[in-house]
Homo-oligomer: A and B are copies of this chain.
Amino acid sequence: MDLTGFSINQMTVKQLSLPELVKGCVELGVPGVGLWREPVAEYGLAAAARLVADAGLAVTSLCRGGFFTAIDPAERAAALADNRAAIEEAAALGTDTLVLVSGGLPSGSRDLAGARERIADALAELGPYAAERGVRLAIEPLHPMFASDRCVVSTLSQALDLAERFPAEQVGIVVDTYHLWWDDRIAEDIRRAGAGGRIHCFQLADWVTPLPEGVLNGRGQLGDGAVDMAWFRAAVAEAGYRGPVEVEIFNDVLWARDGAEVLAQTVERYRGLLSA
């Protein structure tokens, strides 16, 4: 199995510098990378774009915009400005996809529906701005365990309800196995997303327990957990998705290991699980 379409998200091997990541990808034949704004900014936006392009790597996505749920007008304005910057950075890096983590409940609020409406308001402002720059916004539904503090969009169905208010070239969704594997409506939601041309990003991570304190950095290496990766890959393909398959794992144990070794292991796992 060749690695066409495979992409490694930078966060999976965040112990690697950007040049180390690029070198590792070239050596292993990995054709794409998903990047994050903070390490890109640290290296320099233009320099990062040049480094990746010179190596022949595709930038499959940029993480992340979002955090749209603030009520305070100044906070909202700051969030919108920051998202416009993120859109420009995506364009500069040559990727057409900005991943959105939409935001949790504001402090003291219990109004999930209101928070979701404020996300829609932000998308209405940012969607045209993104499309003019060749960038699509991709709403990432996060696991319900993040609903209060990180993202009130918890299912693919909710993400589609939001995205479908806008043209698909402005707003779509992310299918991330880690966040969605448990949902018995996932098959029909993936069909719905594919039919509307809304699958703008497809990410893999496995579900393993016990979850660590804070639950953020306990995602599993492919094959270590409960997720049927081949099923997800087939489901998005049957729904018409032909884009990259990005592996994005947040895991303290993987981060403590040698980054090149983790990258090679991830490629091996991907081959083993998805070439069958």
Contact = CB atoms under 8 A, between A and B. Distances in A.
Given A211-B214, A228-B110, A158 B145 contact: no
A148 B111 CA distance: 29
Interface string A205-230: 00101111111000000000111100
Given A105-B226, A182-B154, A228-B110, A148 B210 contact: no
A64 interface: no
A268 interface: no
Chain A, interface size category, equals 20 to 34
Contacts of A226: 105, 110, 147-148
Nearest to A211: B215
Contact of A145 (B105, B143, B155, B227): B143
A15 B129 CA distance: 57
A82 B214 CA distance: 34
Given A210-B213, A211-B214, A215-B215, A182 B225 contact: no
A112 interface: yes
Interface of A is mostly: loop
B184 A158 contact: yes
A145 B148 contact: no
Contact of A213 (B148, B211, B225): B211
Contacts of A20: none
A183 interface: yes
A144 interface: yes
B148 A112 contact: no
Interface string A126-144: 0000000000000000011
Nearest to A215: B211
A227 B111 CA distance: 9
Nearest to A228: B110
Nearest to A150: B209
Contact of A147 (B149, B182, B212): B182
A226 B211 CA distance: 21
A112 B182 contact: yes
Interface string A159-184: 00000000000000000000001111
Nearest to A208: B148
Nearest to A116: B184
17 contacts: A112-B182, A112-B184, A143-B145, A144-B183, A145-B211, A147-B182, A147-B207, A147-B226, A148-B207, A149-B209, A149-B210, A152-B182, A154-B182, A154-B183, A154-B184, A210-B213, A211-B213
Nearest to A187: B113
